[in-house]
């Protein structure tokens, strides 16, 4: 009697490993992207602190240039995964797409918002 595996058994094992690898890779990329949003949360937190200080001093909403936060306004640099801006009482962090910002970029960019309305902070993507 011969010992070993048949070709069919080897093919089934290879297919199972391929399926598990595919599922693992998609979950891995989601975890990586979730970690990259930590940058946006940190910078938006700095923007919130600076926004509050500016608003208490001048009773007006600041522009991005009036906040003392080091954050890129566009995705031309290679230091951040997001670009940042303000519009009224809202601070935004927009994910840089492929070929711009710090690599790797994403095919579809998304935005994380932080807003201040009626004395209360709110936002999207679980941030406020």
Q: What is the CATH number of the domain that holds 15?
A: 3.30.700
What's the pLDDT tens digit per position in 46-86?
Answer: 888 888 888 889 988 888 888 888 888 888 888 888 889 88
Q: Does residue 92 surpass a pLDDT of 80?
A: yes
pLDDT band at 125 (very low <50, low <70, confident <90, very high): low
Q: Does residue 24 surpass a pLDDT of 90?
A: no
In a domain, 2, yes or no: no
Total domains in the chain come to 1
Sequence-ordered alpha helix ranges (H) in the chain: 7-58
In a domain, 128, yes or no: no
| Range 93-102 burial, b when 16+ CB lie within 10 A, else e | bbbbeeeebb
Per the prediction, the chain carries an average pLDDT of 84
In a domain, 102, yes or no: yes
* CB of 42 closer than 8 Å to CB of 50: no
| pLDDT, mean of residues 29-53 | 86
Q: What is the pTM of this model?
A: 0.71
| pLDDT, mean of residues 9-37 | 88
Query: 88: domain range?
Result: 7-123
In a domain, 106, yes or no: yes
């Amino acid at each position: 009697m011969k010992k070993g595996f048949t070709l069919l058994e080897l093919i089934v094992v290879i297919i199972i490993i391929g399926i598990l690898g595919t599922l693992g890779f998609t979950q891995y990329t989601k975890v990586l992207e979730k970690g990259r949003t930590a940058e946006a949360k940190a910078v938006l937190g700095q923007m919130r602190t600076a926004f509050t200080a500016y608003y208490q001093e001048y009773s007006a909403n600041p522009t991005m240039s009036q906040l003392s936060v080091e954050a890129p306004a566009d995705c031309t640099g290679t230091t951040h995964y997001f670009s940042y801006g303000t519009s009224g009482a809202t601070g935004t962090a927009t994910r840089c797409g492929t070929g711009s910002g710090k690599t790797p970029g994403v095919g579809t960019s998304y935005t994380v918002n932080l807003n201040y309305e009626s004395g209360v902070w709110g936002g999207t993507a679980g941030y406020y």
